[in-house]
Structure 1
């Protein structure tokens, strides 16, 4: 898989120079796909990616509790693993995007029971308990085709630009949408508006 850690894409900004704020950004499919990726993340992944500084109530403390508890407190080591490193069903779809936000996640591999039981159950968590009492440890590498149709195409159609407001409202780009956001924020003098182009990558995100 290509390294996406250094990937960057342009983002067109309309800035209110007088108030030093962004009115909106205009972006193409690459940026919107990455932005929508955040909706697929389980809570545990969000806290891990933000370094236990999510600011979401007491969730950071809850996550740290799981990390600090002795392994003997859990039914199996896999129980703690699935809490600290939960997997998203949309993860395969997200791997084909311009920027892999969660590049630290393990390759998508399913595991089946290591015993000779007839269970057809698969788990994305190594060591998960099988219904027969055994553990899922035999790897079955997932194919990209197991993801959604067109998994490498992201979430939105290509060839369409989008407007993203400062509070992350995403709409198809149009003159009407742009003017509506400008009016909504009370900008009356067009001379205070300035266009800028920034290049966004994984670190900036």
Structure 2
């Protein structure tokens, strides 16, 4: 019998107990894949059209994090970044030239706009049946056993407002300075598992709050309006 895949993803939280705030989470590809998967939903198009600054909650931060991550070192491919930043609609219409169909190994001309004309014969294209676009993941959901969006060996810091950055020592020092943390011994570490329930709450909070990790994993002790 095949082993059952784990239903939770582990990540480490660094907590400032004095302010009841999560400074950041340390996580690998599985958790970051989940965050980036949110942007492969139609909401990614909304973020792009409205602009990052006008987006409610932290979705704009996830979008900007994807933009800023180096394609070569962190993203599975440059094409992966395009899929996340400009996701296709699940269903799309394709138009084809009735005179040039690929029945016998020849060239087939296809377009995604009804006003397109065949470059060979000049006829306007005819509409085909609706086409279902399938992401390169199982049923559109990242599989923990595969590379979905992020390369396997990468480790990231996820800030309270869902900004995603590569895990560098300098980044940690800068963050501690920002929150005026003088002694790291005053901080607490906590390893948690993120399952389906937590994932749903993260998705909900990402649309409403600027302190997503604190709200979800510390019981909402910090108000969403605080930065």
Give the structure-1-normalised TM-score. 0.50
Normalized per residue, the structure richer in strand is: 1
TM-score of the superposition, structure 2-length normalised?
Answer: 0.46
